[in-house]
Amino acid sequence: MARKLAVVGAGLMGSGIAQVSAQAGWDVVLRDITDQALTRGTDGIKASYDKFVSKGKLTAEEAEAALGRITTTTDLDAAADADIVVEAVFERIDVKQEIFRTLDGLVGDETVLASNTSAIPITKIAAATRRPERVVGTHFFSPVPMMRLCELVRGHKTSDETLAAAREFAEGVGKTCIVVNRDVAGFVTTRLISALVVEAAKLHESGVATAEDIDTACKLGFGHAMGPLATADLTGVDILLHATENIYTESQDEKFAPPESMRRMVDAGDIGRKSGQGFYRY
């Protein structure tokens, strides 16, 4: 019997998680609050499958079958009979807690409730439910079909069984997992990239080196595929600013305090590739 996955949020991350899961044989229900958001999400999934077919990584039949396993809805009740629910909405604790509070009253006792958050402590999200032991972090990376990592995050009360189920799911959709054993804000990956981006932005702000030279140093000196400032532009300067502020608020560690130049860039709308201007012009 095919297992059922519910994905809450049809943005770039949610649709990517739906895409790889359907391809791996899961029946997926993708939920968002508007039909327009759902159409955008499924259009993106179709385009991505088409690209894989044109490159010979999927057959047309496999792509069609995977698409056939995805249904869309604006009704959260559709998650009621899911084996796993992955939340992939905007990085705001109040929004996430509201979703988890509602899901807690909808799904079965054995259902795993997972969050794709990149910086909010899982324990805080789980506290909105009566089953914190069934809540876990499954932090996928963008673009989900291409990026091989999934960061599994153990909340303060996450059970071994829940963590094992999350690992089985993530590995089953083709990801390699790392486990975050202590639920610190930003986990492992967001803390590392935030510290690097903040320091790179400070070096850039104070005129120590150009954005290009800072990124070249990281690529050629450390073997990084992409420099930290180009990464900020790709991810969104606004999203990274939000993440570093979350980590700084939680940890009060000065190395996560974003420089003023990053705040001004976001104020001005220079948020990276999606706006045509960030640390680089596009």
206 assigned ligand-binding residue: no
| Pairing mode of beta strands 149-154, 135-140 | antiparallel
Give CA separation, 231 vs 149, 151, 220, 228, in Å.
16, 18, 15, 5
Structure tokens at 131: 């089953």
124 assigned ligand-binding residue: no
118 assigned ligand-binding residue: yes
Beta bridge partners of 5: 28, 84
Neighbours of 186 (CB within 10 A): 26
Give CA separation, 60 vs 7, 30, 115, in Å.
24, 22, 31
Collapsed DSSP state (helix, strand, coil) of residue 223: coil
Q: Binding site for CoA: which residues?
A: 48, 55, 118
Q: Can you say which residues are annotated as belonging to the binding site?
A: 48, 55, 118
